[in-house]
Amino acid sequence: MDPALKLSELLAYAENESRHWQKWFQENPAALDVKLDIAQAKDVRNLVLHIVAVDTRYAERLLGEEVSPYEKFPTEVTALFDSADRAFQKLRKFLDAAQENDWKQVIEFPTRSMGTLTSSKRKIFIHTLLHSTRHWAQLATALRSAGYKQDWQHDFLFTNAIE
């Protein structure tokens, strides 16, 4: 048995967490309007938008596609999570097709808040998954503090992405 965490397992965890949130927000739509101050988002809806937009835009960069303008992302919950699903499909497409040299390829790209950055595609892929995981954790805490408890365990230990 290989004890190393595989990127496919981390991707499966991130996708599983996103799907839990999608279902939860469909059942708790008022939570989208909770005010907060995380990642320049003033409310939950805009933090979810930030998570989905970053996932999508980095997935597009990894595949060499045109990067979607941030302002074009929907904010309605079903459409927003449809975008999330497409981002995961793109991430999986890159993961499944990438060869060793693809992971090492360094690209330059503009960001919304940090100027122009340069990074390997490997680092971008990992960053994308850790970025969403970090923000979902912040969101879970902010929502619990506002009286919106989630009905699942967020920790990796409880995921079905790995045995």
The per-residue pLDDT for range 43-69, each reduced to its tens digit, is 999 999 999 999 999 999 999 999 999
Residue with tokens 């320049």: 40
Residue 41 lies inside a defined structural domain of this protein = yes
- Residues 24-38 pLDDT 10s: 999 999 999 999 999
Which residues contact residue 107 at a Cβ distance below 8 angstroms, ignoring those fewer than 6 apart? 61, 118, 119, 121, 124
Q: How many angstroms separate the CA atoms of 104 and 121, rounded?
A: 6
pLDDT digits (tens, 9 = 90+) for 83-116: 999 999 999 999 999 999 999 999 999 888 888 9
CATH of the domain at 115: 1.20.120.450
Assess if residue 2 is contained within a domain: no
pTM greater than 0.75 (yes/no): yes
Give me the domain span that covers residue 59.
7-158
- Domain membership flag for residue 108: yes
Specify if 13 maps to a domain: yes
With respect to residue 134, please indicate whether it lies within any of the assigned structural domains: yes
Answer yes or no: is 1 within a domain. Answer: no
The distance of Cα 89 from the centroid of its chain, to the nearest Å, equals 12
Q: Domain tally for the chain?
A: 1
Determine, yes or no, domain membership for 163. no
Output the pLDDT for position 1: 60
40 within some domain: yes
